[in-house]
Amino acid sequence: MRAPRPESVSAASVADVRPAAIADVPEIHHLLEIYASQGNLLPRSMSELYRHLRDFFVIDIDGRLVGCGALEIFTENLGEVRSLVVADGYKNRGFGRMLVDRIVEEARIIGLKRIMALTYVPDFFQKLGFRTVAKETLPEKVWSVCVKCYKYNHCDEIAVLREIAETKHTA
């Protein structure tokens, strides 16, 4: 079955975001390579994607992967939205919001208190309840990941952070 034309698809017409599967890794890698080649995110190898597969969520429209995003956990209190991409032709239709909402919900379910992202589009995240913060306020990220990055001394990404409200569990 052929995937619908991008311009005819909106987030409201798509099933929920789902956890990534092994078969999704090549397409996730392809999407991330496109963004990495534009300098919009860091590249991730196929082996790294397989190792972190359980961190990823995807949007699949009739067999075509059109977006992905991951939740990386740093501490018992802090996680990060990583590798958030939506394929060209599917942007500005609510898919990025769907992915972030699902990642935040996963962070809430497992008990994280805060979730952050490093981004070139802080306005997008601000619409989703994030606020801009200094990178220095996120030592868990800076000292575990950023120090290994080739952009470390000249990072131009903006840090955003969202507090996660606890969900009351009833029996």
% of the chain with per-residue pLDDT over 90: 56
Q: How much is the average pLDDT of 32-42?
A: 87
The pLDDT tens digits of the residues spanning 93-144 come to 999 999 999 999 999 999 999 999 988 899 999 999 999 998 778 766 554 5
Write down the pLDDT at residue 5: 57
Has residue 79 been placed in a domain? Answer: yes
- Which of 34, 88, 86 minimizes the C-alpha distance to 57? 86
Residue 157's domain comprises 13-163
List Cα–Cα distances, 104 to 13, 47, 59, in angstroms: 21, 25, 16
Say whether pLDDT at 169 is over 70: no
3-class DSSP assignment, residue 149: coil
Contact (Cβ atoms closer than 8 angstroms) between residue 67 and residue 95: yes
How many other CB atoms are there within 10 angstroms of residue 126's CB atom?
Answer: 14
Please list, in sequence order, all residues whose beta carbon lies within 8 angstroms of the beta carbon of residue 89, skipping any fewer than 6 positions away: 6, 7
- The CATH number linked to 105 is 3.40.630.30
Specify the pTM. 0.83
Write down the pLDDT at residue 1: 39
Domain count, the chain: 1
Write down the pLDDT at residue 49: 96
